Chain A
């Protein structure tokens, strides 16, 4: 079910497995005795992805007697993130786990974290110019390049020859979504050159529906859509419903809303899933190992999972570390 890693890290690194972040018994004793404090800075606290990251990180840190002293919601805002990182430095946490919400605009604030003596673990994105070792300890992310290719393959299976499809991307300089978009386009170019891909972008996830509307209006014969991740995909689904269009959609991240659409058979035909809970576990382990000066690979990554109606129940368990909701199980049985 799990695909091999196909992408490279932000500096061209080969991915290392999260299993390289194993904490030995002796290390665990040392870590527990030091009672580290950790702050977590996320782009949002409302998404299913963020909730799972937090759950994985909290469980792991708790197991090693490390306390999360602050959880920050930056609301996708670079200025807010810069302000929060400065504020956190006054609390002097031992380490910060952060997802940079931008590139150059948040680079300086992130560079200051490690310069001030705290360890910095990055999630999903590295501001250009920040180097592993000097600027941060490691990057933890899914294989976003692989996720884009999976989403392309899942969509292509439902697209007739010589059709036009839409790629609805995030209009921000962000490593993870850049990788997905580039891989999606590359897969289509290499494997389905008969398909024409029209690209549109949204600046905020709430505007994905409007971007979809623009796409529909500019292209009368749209035969399918890819959306960069699950939350904006929900907006795309609403717009497609409003236009009474029944075309296949694929996206990234097994959030509950798109998963429900997949099991209902309505619009969503496939999802390229990452495992945010496990990413949270890896981020926490990396923070603890960095604090005891354990060297680690600059990019720790996990491969993506192609999810369809056929495997959604198993995939849901793998992603959420919980059984799929009852209505999903019923719907799968009915199908």
Chain B
């Protein structure tokens, strides 16, 4: 892991004015041909239009231009026009299809105690995924090493000579959208040790593609909205109830992104006057400190050791340490202590969720994370408290579901997010002529600049102590 000079992140290599600043302007490279190519590709890619007639009608472009641009897109391999569509009486029209297998995205989610990786098509369809436990409090260099190993493994499975067009990493904390830059690591004040890490630069130079960083709660929310139980819902609340409690919000069909990306810290809603449990935020009464996975395991372990729960004592003896899943199992086997513990936690969580329900009036609340997986008792208690403490006007048609997607939701959300960046109207016109973002000379130049900066930072670093003493 290399520490880059602070100046690199802002200005070095001219990146802040270069190709991959998604919020920047195109400037001199803008021309109408590129714009029309990008417009047509995005119409086909999003499924809005797939025949020449539809493309002409929606884009407002003339027949000759549409025909010419589709031919260009077919030559780049991005569009396939081989299939015939349904006829309305005359000759069957050719349908344009986005070739999602043309390139690949690599995506990874660092959740609270695990890592998940996937390889996806350009349409965000996962081809292979893998999740494993990982202590995310480890130093970033070790996490990055494992991430590279897993990405390499995923590519060995499915690459088939295809280019990687983009990468996405979801982290367990807020990521400021204003700091977005696909060739430089964002500042991450919430993750100790990561503030000076150059993980994005390392990934960019290893895999040769831009990399966007997102918050895992936001990507889980997007994934649930795209393919989960909240599919198609316009106002939705997703909550990840694990060691920490975080919430993601979809309002009017759009993910809500706050000023510093720090919305949804649901775990710090106060639900108790109990001053005996201090939250790591320094406050007391926070719901995650009282009803989070750590609190549940702590209470269960005490009950096992004190003799209040024979079932938990037996599980503790077999497993060395208890998990929230053990508490759920004990409750299901008739352990009254575990059942009451989960019920109490569920009511506290439901009380916190009710205040969000009253504020935002979602149609659906999707409950994810390790706690809801542990037991139906917890989910039932959450439901009970939400309905009890919400105003009837907001709870009348409210549906509360358990997530079925696990952390796959974040991988699906990330793949879509990376696709949105690569094909965004700001970026797409810049590479469309080459037919691939990573075949674009400006991208190659940007990656070379990152590599050179990493080399400079390596050389300027003092040698390790072992080398000195040797």
Q: Which residues of A contact B (CB under 8 A)?
A: 2, 4, 6-17, 19-20, 22, 103-104, 128-129, 131-134, 145, 173, 178-179, 182-183, 185-186, 189, 295, 297-298
> Cβ of B116 and Cβ of A12 under 8 Å apart?
yes
For B332, the closest partner residue in chain A by CB is A20
Q: If A11-B405, A182-B153 touch, does A128 touch B320 (CB 8 Å cutoff)?
A: no
Specify which chain A residues have a CB less than 8 angstroms from the CB of B146 in the assembled complex: 186
Q: Which of B129-137, B190-198, B433-441 contacts A (4 or more CB under 8 A)?
A: B129-137
Interface size, B (range): 35 or more
Q: If A4-B320, A12-B408 touch, does A103 touch B128 (CB 8 Å cutoff)?
A: yes
B333 within 8 A of A: yes
> Cβ of A8 and Cβ of B128 under 8 Å apart?
no
List the count of A-B residue pairs having beta carbons below 8 Å apart. Answer: 93
> Cβ of B132 and Cβ of A145 under 8 Å apart?
yes
Minimum CB–CB distance for B346 against chain A, Å: 15
Partner of A13, one of B319, B329, B376, B406: B406
**CA separation between A7 and B133, bound complex, in Å?**
7
B114 within 8 A of A: yes
Q: If A7-B133, A11-B406, A11-B408 touch, does A17 touch B325 (CB 8 Å cutoff)?
A: yes
> Cβ of A129 and Cβ of B325 under 8 Å apart?
no
> Cβ of B131 and Cβ of A134 under 8 Å apart?
no
Would you mind naming 7 contact pairs between A and B with Cβ atoms under 8 Å apart? A8-B132, A8-B133, A11-B129, A11-B405, A12-B111, A13-B373, A173-B157
Specify which chain A residues have a CB less than 8 angstroms from the CB of B132 in the assembled complex: 7-8, 145, 182-183, 186
Specify which chain A residues have a CB less than 8 angstroms from the CB of B324 in the assembled complex: 14
Minimum CB–CB distance for B415 against chain A, Å: 12
Specify which chain A residues have a CB less than 8 angstroms from the CB of B133 in the assembled complex: 6-8
For B375, the closest partner residue in chain A by CB is A20
> Cβ of B325 and Cβ of A131 under 8 Å apart?
no
Minimum CB–CB distance for B407 against chain A, Å: 3
Specify which chain B residues have a CB less than 8 angstroms from the CB of A173 in the assembled complex: 128, 157-158
Most buried by B among A11, A12, A132, A183: A12
Given contacts A11-B407, A134-B404, 11 further A-B contacts (CB under 8 A): A11-B406, A13-B406, A16-B328, A17-B329, A103-B128, A104-B127, A128-B126, A131-B227, A132-B404, A178-B157, A179-B130
B76 within 8 A of A: no
> Cβ of B329 and Cβ of A19 under 8 Å apart?
yes
Instruction: Please report which residues of chain B, range 312-357, place their CB below 8 angstroms from some CB of chain A when the two chains form the complex.
Output: 318-320, 323-325, 328-329, 332-333
For A181, the closest partner residue in chain B by CB is B153
Minimum CB–CB distance for B48 against chain A, Å: 23
B22 within 8 A of A: no
**CA separation between A189 and B145, bound complex, in Å?**
11
Q: Chain A interface secondary structure, helix, strand, loop or mixed?
A: loop
Specify which chain A residues have a CB less than 8 angstroms from the CB of B376 in the assembled complex: 295
> Cβ of A129 and Cβ of B158 under 8 Å apart?
no
Instruction: Please report which residues of chain B, range 56-109, place their CB below 8 angstroms from some CB of chain A when the two chains form the complex.
Output: 109
**CA separation between A20 and B377, bound complex, in Å?**
13
**CA separation between A254 and B103, bound complex, in Å?**
42
For B402, the closest partner residue in chain A by CB is A295
Q: If A12-B114, A14-B370 touch, does A128 touch B333 (CB 8 Å cutoff)?
A: no
Please list the 10 inter-chain residue pairs (A to B) with the smallest Cβ-Cβ separation, ordered nearest first.
Answer: A11-B406, A12-B407, A12-B131, A133-B404, A11-B408, A12-B406, A8-B131, A13-B406, A17-B329, A132-B404
Partner of A11, one of B131, B320, B374: B131
> Cβ of B404 and Cβ of A298 under 8 Å apart?
yes
Q: Chain B interface secondary structure, helix, strand, loop or mixed?
A: mixed
**CA separation between A20 and B327, bound complex, in Å?**
11
Specify which chain B residues have a CB less than 8 angstroms from the CB of A298 in the assembled complex: 373, 404, 406
> Cβ of B131 and Cβ of A10 under 8 Å apart?
yes
> Cβ of A131 and Cβ of B408 under 8 Å apart?
yes
Specify which chain A residues have a CB less than 8 angstroms from the CB of B126 in the assembled complex: 128-129
Specify which chain A residues have a CB less than 8 angstroms from the CB of B131 in the assembled complex: 8-12
Minimum CB–CB distance for B118 against chain A, Å: 8
> Cβ of B404 and Cβ of A22 under 8 Å apart?
no
**CA separation between A185 and B114, bound complex, in Å?**
17
For B318, the closest partner residue in chain A by CB is A2
B125 within 8 A of A: yes
Specify which chain B residues have a CB less than 8 angstroms from the CB of A178 in the assembled complex: 130, 157
> Cβ of B373 and Cβ of A182 under 8 Å apart?
no
Specify which chain B residues have a CB less than 8 angstroms from the CB of A128 in the assembled complex: 126-129
Most buried by B among A7, A20, A22: A20
For B231, the closest partner residue in chain A by CB is A134
> Cβ of B129 and Cβ of A4 under 8 Å apart?
no
Partner of B329, one of A16, A103, A189: A16
B150 within 8 A of A: yes
**CA separation between A65 and B216, bound complex, in Å?**
46
For B333, the closest partner residue in chain A by CB is A19
Specify which chain B residues have a CB less than 8 angstroms from the CB of A15 in the assembled complex: 325
Minimum CB–CB distance for B297 against chain A, Å: 12
Minimum CB–CB distance for B384 against chain A, Å: 17
Minimum CB–CB distance for B412 against chain A, Å: 9
**CA separation between A5 and B130, bound complex, in Å?**
16
Minimum CB–CB distance for B136 against chain A, Å: 13
> Cβ of A20 and Cβ of B150 under 8 Å apart?
no
Most buried by A among B126, B318, B404: B404
Q: If A7-B132, A173-B128, A182-B150 touch, does A16 touch B325 (CB 8 Å cutoff)?
A: yes
Specify which chain A residues have a CB less than 8 angstroms from the CB of B329 in the assembled complex: 16-17, 19-20
Partner of B333, one of A14, A16, A22: A22
Minimum CB–CB distance for B220 against chain A, Å: 10
**CA separation between A18 and B109, bound complex, in Å?**
28
Minimum CB–CB distance for B413 against chain A, Å: 13
Specify which chain A residues have a CB less than 8 angstroms from the CB of B229 in the assembled complex: 133
**CA separation between A298 and B405, bound complex, in Å?**
9
Partner of A9, one of B109, B127, B150, B406: B406
**CA separation between A298 and B228, bound complex, in Å?**
14
For B228, the closest partner residue in chain A by CB is A131
Minimum CB–CB distance for A314 against chain B, Å: 16
Specify which chain A residues have a CB less than 8 angstroms from the CB of B125 in the assembled complex: 129
For A145, the closest partner residue in chain B by CB is B132
Specify which chain B residues have a CB less than 8 angstroms from the CB of A9 in the assembled complex: 131, 406
